[in-house]
């Protein structure tokens, strides 16, 4: 844990809690504070920033909402630096979509751009173990469809497995976040067996292209796949609008 004294600069703005949170962010980003480290107590932070504990508490609340720290209660409690995860990104993207700042068209466009890059990286780095996991995913989807089970999670996992093949944690997190947002829409769909099989066919074609080292074909299949998904989600969106208008 880094030393508590002389880390922070005196405040000089009216929104003191913003400056406190910004200074702590900088120390986290620069590696002075590392995941698992405990921040100084509210009293100590208040003394160093020369401000009240309520201002410090508001700054810590801001950092907690941003997913950078977590607050632990009790005698051994305090504010601790959180390990990085994709939950905050997921929540931000989901919130933007729900309040209408991001359209399904924009979501699909962003997803396509990211997944094309994922494919390009994966096709050069993929291992036998990766291929085995992708093949198992497709087999699991086939079995679920044959049993009348909706393989939503399995279908989405196919894309997460591709992202893991990049060996790039940032791509994994971004794809995970976008998959969770996509899932929130797809859970509203009651797809027929034809639609489910279509997804499976796309996944098989993408995997086959990867095995052949054909990046163009893999990206073309991914583009067709995501456009079909977008059309399905747009159908849902229009149906919901009609229902709201008739209520």
pLDDT in tens, 3-34: 555 677 766 655 888 899 999 999 998 889 99
Q: Between 174 and 140, name the one with better pLDDT.
A: 140
Query: Would you list the DSSP string of 186-219?
Result: HTT----HHHHHHHHHHHHHHHHHHHHT-HHHHH
The verdict on 140 and 207 lying in the same domain is: yes
Tokens of 152: 């939503």
Q: What is the DSSP code string of 58-107?
A: HHHHHHHHTTSEEEE-STT-EEEEPPP-SHHHHHHHHHHHHTTSS-HHHH
pLDDT digits (tens, 9 = 90+) for 143-166: 999 998 888 899 999 999 999 999
- 244 falls within a domain: no
Letter string b/e over residues 18-30, b meaning 16 or more CB atoms within 10 A of that residue's CB: ebbbebbbebbee
Domain count, the chain: 2
CA distances from residue 98 to 175, 182, 244 in whole angstroms, order as listed? 19, 12, 15
**Does residue 8 form part of some domain?**
no
Mean pLDDT to the nearest integer, 212-217: 96
Considering the domain architecture, whether residues 141 and 197 belong to the same structural domain is answered as yes
Q: Give the Cα separation of 223 and 64 in Å (integer).
A: 37
On whether residue 1 sits in a domain, the answer given is no
Same domain, 21 and 122: no
190-215 burial, b at 16+ Cβ within 10 Å, e below that, comes to: eeeeeebebbbebbbbbbebbeeeeb
* pLDDT on residue 234: 78
| Domain span at 178 | 87-231
- Better-scored residue on pLDDT, 241 or 112: 112
CATH number for 74? 1.10.10.10
Count, residues in the chain: 247
pLDDT digits (tens, 9 = 90+) for 30-86: 889 999 999 999 999 999 988 889 999 999 999 998 889 999 988 888 999 998 766
Proportion of the chain above pLDDT 90, given as a percent: 50
pTM, to two decimals? 0.70
pLDDT of residue 66: 84
């Amino acid at each position: 844990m880094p030393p508590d004294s002389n880390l922070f600069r005196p405040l000089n703005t009216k929104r003191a809690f913003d400056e406190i949170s910004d200074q702590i962010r900088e120390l986290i980003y620069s590696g002075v504070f590392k995941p698992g480290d405990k921040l100084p107590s509210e009293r100590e932070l208040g003394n160093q920033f020369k401000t009240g504990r309520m201002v410090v508490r508001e700054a810590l609340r801001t950092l907690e909402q941003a997913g950078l720290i977590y607050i632990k209660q009790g005698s051994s409690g305090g504010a601790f630096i959180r390990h990085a995860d994709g939950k905050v990104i997921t929540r931000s993207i989901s919130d933007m979509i729900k309040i209408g700042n991001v359209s399904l068209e924009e979501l699909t466009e962003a997803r396509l751009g990211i997944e094309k890059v994922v494919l390009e990286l994966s096709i050069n780095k993929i291992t036998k173990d990766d291929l085995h996991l992708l093949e198992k995913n497709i087999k699991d989807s086939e079995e679920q469809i044959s049993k009348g089970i909706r393989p939503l999670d399995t279908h989405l996992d196919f894309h997460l497995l591709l992202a893991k093949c990049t060996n790039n944690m940032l791509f994994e997190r971004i794809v995970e976040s976008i998959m969770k947002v996509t899932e929130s829409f797809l859970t509203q769909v009651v797809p027929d067996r034809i639609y489910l099989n279509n997804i499976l066919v796309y996944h098989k074609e993408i995997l086959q292209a990867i095995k052949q080292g054909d990046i163009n074909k893999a990206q073309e299949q991914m583009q067709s796949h995501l456009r079909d998904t977008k059309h399905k989600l747009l159908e849902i969106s229009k149906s919901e609008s009609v229902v709201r208008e008739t209520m």
